[in-house]
Structure 1
Amino acid sequence: MLTHTSATTPAIAAGREPLVQVRRAVKTYGPTKALSGVTLDVHAGEVFGVVGHNGAGKSTLMRVLSGLDAIDSGSVQIGGVSTPAERGFPGVRMAYQEGSLALELTVYENIYLSSKSWIPDRRWHGAASRRAMARLDEIFPDHVVGPADYVDDLTLADRQMVEISRATIADDLRLLILDEPTESLSGSAVDHLYDYVRKLRASGHAIILVSHRLREVLSVCDRVAVMKDGAVVSTHAAGSVTEQDLFLAMGGEVAIQKTGNGARPTATDSSRPVCVKVPMTTVDGAATQIVAHKGEVIGLAGIAGQGQEQVLDRLWRRNGDVQASAALAYVPGDRQRSGILPIWDVARNLTITALPSLSKNGIRQTEKENALVAEWVERLKIRGGASAAITGLSGGNQQKVIVARAFASDADTILLDDPFRGVDVHTKAELYQLIKSEAQKGRTIIWYSSENSEMQHCDRAYVLRAGRVAGELHGRDISDERIISLSFAEAREAHA
């Protein structure tokens, strides 16, 4: 078992007072205790990682540190200030996992709203635009965002770039909080972000990184705190632990067993009925198609933004000569924008697509609805229960509800658009098992993931590049190496 480990970052070795000091912090929401006595220190000039399963209290702690939420007991002190002002603690900025941008406004208007103290009121349009582009260019040199672009028109990745850049535009920045910043970003954007994080650390800023991507956490952080059930259970020097150590500290023994290579499926019997056909072309222009048989789990792999989501959209809308099952269910990739119904509770969010099959002569049968909700809440261990407000759940538990909504319907084919973005390893293990068991019942699942390792849970995977099929992988041939190879191979090699 892991023990509490001391760290030796330069900021700590110098004996300086911690920039952030949290002592026995408790925060409750109704009957739920989100924080149950958190104690931690964060120093200037270090990158501090926070990991833990969904519902462990990570996002609540970050909201407390940003000044959005007040604790019920204990103390929080940042830079010597123990009571946040109206706009939060001085010098603290946060990039939120779910985003905090006003979708109906432009990029420069969003920057101005959150940075009025550093942008002059006179001719603010130009000043805000210049600030926005300068920071986007600095952090993400490959971006394609314009200052006059409306946020609602941006891709999820572009919105995340603006969200992160917005958080850094502050003349008094001392602490930058990044809550799952890379879940929507591609590989190059992730690298650029962490290069900027290291630059901030070198200039004496403190950075708190909350992420489920443990490899990234260990590569960029100086120390890592593990949270469980609303408390920090251990803190470690990043160089002294491995990903598996952190899994174990989070209580990940079961998840490790479930996600090991031994669980990878074998190829599906091609004699089963064909449920899905999507006409495509190969990277060198030849006609081909994406095919899925009854009971198959089909992956759409490759670098993000190469047409995977367009394939799902074609299926959902049945565009062109696409062949699909009569009954489809769709789990969207943008949970906040297209997934949850924020004014409803868990039960109504979960049952909305199943209502036709639960009604009789057009009349709702509440007993059946309640039974269905109880079954899925128990099956996926949805924290908070059926009557909880959907917006009060952690991101991972919200995602469980959205996935349950799809599988609780009578759909024969389930479309998954990067469904486990921002979900912890334990929740992922539960949902992988759900996909496997539902496929065994005869359901067909078409699954896009931005994480290549997740494709190893598929029967077959089509690797896409620039909207075309670069190759098809079967069973145990599905690997990070093969997917990457096909993603970058020359056309003649991919076709071969």
Structure 2
Amino acid sequence: MNKYNKTGDNKFPPLIQSPPLIRFSGIGKTFGNVKALSAVDFSFSPGECIGIAGHNGAGKSTLMAVLAGVFPPSEGVIETDGQACPHYDANTARLAGIRCVFQELSLCPNLTIAENLCVVHPRLSGPGWRKRARILIRTRLDEIFPGNTLTGNELVSDLTLTQRQMVEIARGFTETDVPVRLMILDEPTSSLDAHTAEQLLAYVRQATARGVTCLLVTHMLGEIERVSDRVMVMRDGCLVRVLPRENLTRDSIILAMGQHAEVSNAPREVRARMAREKGAGYEWALGPRKSVKVDAVPGEVVGFGGLAGQGQTDALLAIYDAAQRDARTRVAFVAGDRGRDGIFPVWSIAQNLDLRWLGKGGMSGSRNSETRRSRAGFLIDFAAARALVEAWRVKIGIRGASVNASILSLSGGNQQKVLFARALASNADLILMDDPTRGVDVGTKRDIYQLVRDEAAKGRTFIWYTTENDELTYCDRTFVFRSGSVTRVLHSDECTEEALLAASFEEHAA
């Protein structure tokens, strides 16, 4: 029985035939000379889950921004409940019951969870508004993510990335004056572990059963396949195909996107085992009592797994600090929270990629070229810098803008590519990755997996925390975390979904 289907059969319940909630006719959107959307025709019906797939820069986020009223369309007509809306904007969308959880989180870090509710619900005012806001957000958090420990009084700046994602989603589903009729979820599970993502997907099916339309924009194609009634496939700003439920498979989505399946994830432990036998590599004792032991050797890809927020990122940061103090180790870090820890928002794409020119190489120095010291300081080889940036732009497929444009002109997935390219273009022997494929399309993930393997074959060491359990099969070994401790170490041939789940709930370290 499908867990999202209350009818007990093997088919999704038939959709209620009713007028479209929103209809797009010939919708286009341009930004200067860039055509982000072109002639999109689609109707969003009540009570269905629509998956939206496409590579980074395909136009998915722009389409959702138009639907949410953030951007007015440059051409075409939008209808709500059968009526044309010539001046469709954010207020029109709000009154139509459209809500959006964007990929880049919008919570105010200096406010509490409950106070953030007032940003989207101005009617929460007057005596006792904080209590009402706290009850409202707590109710939704408990409905969507049973077992969470949030009270509503926490400062957003003190939350983990996973907790902020949970709060953002719960806030989107809260109601005061206008009921939620259409919910846009843009990469909602990119910061969630497998268990929390399952809770959200179950709630999505419950919401659609109540008549709410849910739009799931994600690169997690397995999630689209499991919960969607239809899938919009976008490419280069166009809607190239709509896949119905009965013909929906992961391979059919990838094929419609014009991409291919990922590289083989066959284990490669021989080099790592030989290095370990020779005594080469790294060892770290982490945690307040130095009781968490992590080791790695040259050429090895080590994974960090387990439920989100169990100490994996803290372990990565501790390893980074230790490596920085060791003159023999060159280290690079790929941040998972790119908005807060990764990008420099006022810099260009090129400047964000090639930070090595700020000093003697350091974390982002080139493996093939160093800055030269002079009596006046450092001489920067701008030609070499431009060549490096262009090479990595092509190699990793950074799309959407000139390398001299602002980093914020890129989609979230393309921003993540810049951070990944910055690390691989460095002179680092040890590369730490904090959920690096968050918000990245399936084709780019395939390329990143291959790049990691190629660089590991050259002797570089990778430590890779990911919330996607499938990615851990690309690692030689996986350290599973719970409550800041390592409960089990799984080799690649042992790293099944069942073994990871069992280890994630173990109480004591192995």
Instruction: Give the TM-score normalised by structure 1.
Output: 0.89
Q: Read off the aligned partner of 1:420 and give its amino acid letter.
A: T
* Equivalent position of 1:22 in the other structure: 24
Q: CA deviation at 1:23?
A: 1.6
Contact 1:325 1:413 in 2 (8 A): no
* Equivalent position of 1:104 in the other structure: 110
Q: CA deviation at 1:278?
A: 1.4
Distance in 2, Cα, partners of 1:101 & 1:48 = 25
Q: Read off the aligned partner of 2:389 and give its amino acid letter.
A: V
Listed one character per residue, the Cα deviations across residues 105-131 of structure 1 (whole Å, up to 9, x for unaligned) are: 1112210111114x2444422322222
- The answer to whether structure 1 residue 259 and structure 2 residue 263 are counterparts is yes
* Equivalent position of 2:295 in the other structure: 291
Q: CA deviation at 1:409?
A: 1.8
Q: Read off the aligned partner of 2:334 and give its amino acid letter.
A: V
Instruction: Classify 1:66/1:81 alpha carbon distance in 2 versus 1 (closer, same or farther; 3 Å).
Output: farther
* Equivalent position of 1:46 in the other structure: 48
Q: CA deviation at 1:86?
A: 4.9
Q: CA deviation at 1:8?
A: 9.3
Listed one character per residue, the Cα deviations across residues 134-160 of structure 1 (whole Å, up to 9, x for unaligned) are: 222222232222222111111111111
Q: Read off the aligned partner of 1:326 and give its amino acid letter.
A: T
Between the aligned residues of both structures, percent identity stands at: 40
Contact 1:354 1:405 in 2 (8 A): no
* Equivalent position of 1:115 in the other structure: 121
Distance in 2, Cα, partners of 1:351 & 1:127 = 48
Distance in 2, Cα, partners of 1:167 & 1:130 = 15
* Equivalent position of 1:158 in the other structure: 163
- The answer to whether structure 1 residue 209 and structure 2 residue 216 are counterparts is yes
Q: Read off the aligned partner of 1:482 and give its amino acid letter.
A: A
Contact 1:315 1:324 in 2 (8 A): no
Task: Find 1:92's aligned residue among 91, 98, 104.
Answer: 98
Distance in 1, Cα, partners of 2:343 & 2:290 = 40
Task: Find 1:233's aligned residue among 219, 240, 243.
Answer: 240
Contact 2:37 2:238 in 1 (8 A): yes
For the residue of structure 2 that corresponds to 1:116, the secondary structure is coil
Q: CA deviation at 1:69?
A: 0.7
Contact 1:120 1:127 in 2 (8 A): no
For the residue of structure 1 that corresponds to 2:454, the secondary structure is helix
- The answer to whether structure 1 residue 55 and structure 2 residue 60 are counterparts is no
Instruction: Classify 1:382/1:272 alpha carbon distance in 2 versus 1 (closer, same or farther; 3 Å).
Output: farther
- The answer to whether structure 1 residue 274 and structure 2 residue 280 are counterparts is yes
- The answer to whether structure 1 residue 371 and structure 2 residue 351 are counterparts is no
Moved more, 22-31 or 89-98: 22-31
Gaps of 5+ in 1: 1-6
- The answer to whether structure 1 residue 360 and structure 2 residue 363 are counterparts is no
Distance in 2, Cα, partners of 1:280 & 1:265 = 27
For the residue of structure 1 that corresponds to 2:42, the secondary structure is strand
* Equivalent position of 1:139 in the other structure: 144
Q: Read off the aligned partner of 1:432 and give its amino acid letter.
A: Y
Moved more, 470-479 or 129-138: 470-479
Contact 1:299 1:460 in 2 (8 A): yes
Instruction: Classify 1:223/1:86 alpha carbon distance in 2 versus 1 (closer, same or farther; 3 Å).
Output: closer
Gaps of 5+ in 2: 1-10, 362-369
Distance in 2, Cα, partners of 1:41 & 1:272 = 63
Listed one character per residue, the Cα deviations across residues 51-77 of structure 1 (whole Å, up to 9, x for unaligned) are: 111111111110000000111111222
For the residue of structure 2 that corresponds to 1:388, the secondary structure is coil
* Equivalent position of 2:5 in the other structure: none
Residue correspondences, number: 476
For the residue of structure 2 that corresponds to 1:87, the secondary structure is helix
* Equivalent position of 2:332 in the other structure: 329
For the residue of structure 1 that corresponds to 2:318, the secondary structure is helix
Task: Find 2:344's aligned residue among 338, 341, 365.
Answer: 341
Instruction: Classify 1:205/1:183 alpha carbon distance in 2 versus 1 (closer, same or farther; 3 Å).
Output: same
* Equivalent position of 1:4 in the other structure: none
Q: Read off the aligned partner of 2:420 and give its amino acid letter.
A: V
* Equivalent position of 2:37 in the other structure: 35
Contact 2:59 2:238 in 1 (8 A): yes
Distance in 2, Cα, partners of 1:487 & 1:382 = 35
Instruction: Classify 1:414/1:174 alpha carbon distance in 2 versus 1 (closer, same or farther; 3 Å).
Output: same
Task: Find 2:471's aligned residue among 454, 462, 473.
Answer: 454
* Equivalent position of 1:382 in the other structure: 398
* Equivalent position of 1:184 in the other structure: 191
Q: CA deviation at 1:428?
A: 0.5
Contact 1:346 1:386 in 2 (8 A): yes
* Equivalent position of 2:7 in the other structure: none
Distance in 1, Cα, partners of 2:482 & 2:164 = 23
* Equivalent position of 1:3 in the other structure: none
For the residue of structure 2 that corresponds to 1:245, the secondary structure is helix
- The answer to whether structure 1 residue 405 and structure 2 residue 415 are counterparts is no
For the residue of structure 1 that corresponds to 2:106, the secondary structure is coil
Q: Read off the aligned partner of 1:374 and give its amino acid letter.
A: E
Instruction: Classify 1:186/1:298 alpha carbon distance in 2 versus 1 (closer, same or farther; 3 Å).
Output: closer
Contact 2:269 2:300 in 1 (8 A): no
Contact 1:418 1:449 in 2 (8 A): yes
Instruction: Classify 1:98/1:446 alpha carbon distance in 2 versus 1 (closer, same or farther; 3 Å).
Output: same
Distance in 2, Cα, partners of 1:489 & 1:448 = 19
Instruction: Give the TM-score normalised by structure 2.
Output: 0.87
* Equivalent position of 1:310 in the other structure: 314
For the residue of structure 2 that corresponds to 1:311, the secondary structure is helix
Q: CA deviation at 1:218?
A: 2.2
* Equivalent position of 2:130 in the other structure: 125
Q: CA deviation at 1:479?
A: 3.3
Instruction: Classify 1:186/1:300 alpha carbon distance in 2 versus 1 (closer, same or farther; 3 Å).
Output: closer
Q: CA deviation at 1:410?
A: 1.6
Task: Give the aligned CA root-mean-square deviation in angstroms.
Answer: 2.6
Alignment of 1:58-77 (within 5 A): 58-77=60-79
Distance in 2, Cα, partners of 1:66 & 1:432 = 34
Distance in 2, Cα, partners of 1:34 & 1:236 = 22
Listed one character per residue, the Cα deviations across residues 295-328 of structure 1 (whole Å, up to 9, x for unaligned) are: 22111122322222121011112299x9795321
Distance in 2, Cα, partners of 1:113 & 1:456 = 41
Distance in 1, Cα, partners of 2:255 & 2:327 = 42
Q: CA deviation at 1:472?
A: 2.4
Distance in 1, Cα, partners of 2:328 & 2:447 = 26
Q: Read off the aligned partner of 1:360 and give its amino acid letter.
A: R
Instruction: Classify 1:35/1:325 alpha carbon distance in 2 versus 1 (closer, same or farther; 3 Å).
Output: farther
Contact 1:329 1:415 in 2 (8 A): yes
Distance in 1, Cα, partners of 2:327 & 2:464 = 14
